[in-house]
Amino acid sequence: MEPLSERVRPENLNDFYGQSHLLGPNGILRRNLKEGYLPSMILWGPPGVGKTTLANIISRTLNRPFHILSAIDTGVKQLREVIEAAAKQKSYDKPAPILFIDEIHRFSKNQQDALLKAVEQGTVTLIGATTENPSFEVISPLLSRMQVYRMLELEEDDMKAIIERAIAIDTTLQSLKIKEINFHFLFQYGGGDARKTLNLLDQVVHSQPHDTELVINQETITHVARLNPLNYDKKGDQHYDIVSAFIKSIRGSDPNAAVYWLARMIAGGEDPLFICRRMIISAAEDIGLANPNALLLANNCYQAVHHIGMPEGRIPMSETAIYLATSEKSNSAYTAINDALKKVKETGAIPVPLHLRNAPTKLMRENNFGKDYLYPHNFNNHFIHQDYLPEIINEEIFYTPQNNATESKLKNRLEQWWEKKQKK
């Protein structure tokens, strides 16, 4: 059986709830549809607010051919095939077919370039859906040819109306006796996501015997939500708990656990670039100077996923997660900057020593700015002992090398340079 969210998906604007700023009596989209005008557009908003549903309704309202693709599993070849099919459907006296791209922000630059020509030539009217700010994720030439419409999270009254409509029209729900339903808690758990809320309602209904009156309250909703391991909320506790488990698995040097939690996030629809950003942070915080290449690999992983998109992006993400998990670990850079920031907070803005100050003018030089500074490259091994910290904190040590192959070499070098200070 289809999920409830699919069974009750609206097919016209009268059954579509929310987005009154776009679809209300004076909404720009409603006016455009009434006039038969449809520019290429991006529907930007959080999950479950009706972006895909609205695109379907637009195609039905205007009676246009409709093609739908998901950026997660569409390559350039498949995209070009769909554009060619749309070109054959377009005739001189008919408007262009609609091409709907779900999660358009996951398209690579090459894929977006392929779209650009089709939009420029009027081969298709493009409707893209995204949860990310299109200013950062959509190439400028394509974005300049599209209208951006912001879709907002659903209000509690909107969600109540959606649930009531579902109960009224779905044959399965019609056959049941619902004694109690807590609209507020369904809304709270769903977080403004209609798809998630409706499917949770469906799960709660099927978790109880159908020969009795059904109770949909806080207790039954919470019970079902905890039983569903893939009930991944990108803005709720699951989001933070799973990414926490992912990072702690990397920190704990367990590549199997790291890949598992990575898979959980990918399967749950987490933004892959968010995952990549977390790996960049982990590479700097947890691996640091024990293996500086980790940061380079994590940053390259972000760039690779940004360029190739998903699902191929899962491969460099897995490679990076495994590399980070199996690398030597050090948080010395992390603790060094934290200790330095703590000292700054304690001591305030200590003046810069005169010999370290910049001296571009005669007046500054006359006031001893830069005086007695020793240029290290003029000395053997490009090093000369001089003070670089203010006198009041000159004995402070913020960076302490940790016990790993790379930092052991750094420790020996620092002891040669700063023997007196490093041994304190």
Q: Which fold has domain 237-326?
A: Zinc Finger, Delta Prime; domain 3 (1.20.272)
Residue 353 token pair: 């020593």
Residue pLDDT, tens place only, 292-336: 999 999 999 999 998 888 888 999 999 999 999 999 999 999 999
Residue pLDDT, tens place only, 67-88: 998 887 787 888 888 888 888 8
Most confident of the following: 21-35, 187-201, 227-241: 21-35
Instruction: Note if the bond before 255 is cis, omega within 30 degrees.
Output: no
pTM, two decimals, is 0.56
The closest of 245, 253, 248, 249 to 404, measured between CA atoms, is: 253
Confidence tier at 420 by pLDDT (50, 70, 90): low
Q: How far is CA 153 from the centre of its chain?
A: 17
Chain region(s) in the chain for CATH 1.20.272.10: 237-326
What are the two backbone dihedrals, phi and then psi, of residue 319, each rounded to the nearest 5 degrees?
-60, -45
Rounded CA-CA distance 37/147 in Å is 12
Q: CB-side exposure of 312: number of CA atoms within 13 Å?
A: 12
- CATH code reported for the domain at 19-150: 3.40.50.300
The listed CATH number (3.20.20.105, 3.30.2130.10, 1.10.3720.10, 1.10.8.60) that belongs to domain 156-227:
1.10.8.60
68 beta partners: 100
Most confident of the following: 249-253, 368-372, 405-409: 249-253
- CATH code reported for the domain at 345-422: 1.10.3710.10
129 neighbors 140 (Cβ within 8 angstroms): no
Per-residue model confidence (pLDDT) at position 234: 56
Residue pLDDT, tens place only, 171-182: 888 888 888 888
Residue 158 token pair: 């909107």
Confidence tier at 187 by pLDDT (50, 70, 90): confident
Per-residue model confidence (pLDDT) at position 236: 53
Residue pLDDT, tens place only, 123-166: 899 999 998 888 888 889 999 999 999 999 888 899 999 999 99
Chain region(s) in the chain for CATH 1.10.3710.10: 345-422
- Least confident segment among 205-214, 311-320, 365-374, 385-394: 205-214
Per-residue model confidence (pLDDT) at position 229: 47
Chain region(s) in the chain for CATH 1.10.8.60: 156-227
Q: How many residues does the chain have?
A: 424
Beta strands in 143-207 (DSSP E): 147-150, 178-181
Chain region(s) in the chain for CATH 3.40.50.300: 19-150
Residue pLDDT, tens place only, 272-292: 898 999 999 999 999 999 999
